[in-house]
Amino acid sequence: MLREALPEGFDFYSLGTLVVAPEPTGTLDDPAELAELAFVAFRYSGDEQGLILTAFDRGLDSSMYTEMGNVLASRFADRLSRLSDGVGVGISPPLALEAEPARRLLQAAAQRRTERLFHHVHGNIAVPVRMIVLPHASGTEAWNV
């Protein structure tokens, strides 16, 4: 059900368009790859619980990509609510996350995570943005974000 709740692309205000890209390559298990990314986390809660991570290249405008992550998380929560017979799913405010806590979270949910790669297209530039959904599993210490 989480895969079905992943949002599709959308126009991102006057700042371009977010389009679904081919499946992501790379596993996000390489510490060097993770160190090159900025992460923003959102908790989702209700009958379904977990974390949503938005990952983008370090050095980009973090406020713009945090807002993009907020829109992605909100659309995910709306779709998950509809798929769960209308049960409400809320999201938390964004939380910037460093590479090491992100690595622990990704590792703890490696077998259960769902992700989608987007390209933020503006003019001739396409910037990769990953959305990673990590469902909550009881007893997971890495959840202390």
Q: pLDDT tens for residues 109-128?
A: 878 889 999 999 999 999 99
| Nearest partner of 115 among 98, 134, 128, judged by Cα | 134
Q: Is residue 138 part of a domain?
A: no
- Split into its structural domains, the chain has a count of 1
Query: CATH no. for residue 86?
Result: 3.40.1550.10
Q: Is residue 141 part of a domain?
A: no
Q: What is the pLDDT of residues 133-144, one digit of tens each?
A: 999 854 444 445
Q: What is the pLDDT of residues 42-101, one digit of tens each?
A: 999 988 899 999 999 999 999 999 999 999 999 999 999 888 876 788 999 999 999 889
The least confident of 15-19, 25-29, 46-50, 78-82 is: 25-29
Map residue 85 onto helix, strand or coil.
Answer: coil
Please check whether residue 115 is in contact with residue 133, taking contact to mean a CB–CB distance below 8 angstroms: yes
Number of Cβ within a 10 Å radius of residue 140: 15
Map residue 50 onto helix, strand or coil.
Answer: strand
Q: Is residue 70 part of a domain?
A: yes
Q: Is residue 117 part of a domain?
A: yes
pLDDT value, residue 142: 45
pTM value is: 0.88
In terms of residue numbers, what domain contains 39?
Answer: 2-133
Q: What is the residue-averaged pLDDT of the chain?
A: 87
Q: Which two tokens stand for residue 39?
A: 């992460």
What is the distance between the alpha carbons of residues 123 and 130, in angstroms, rounded to a whole number? 20
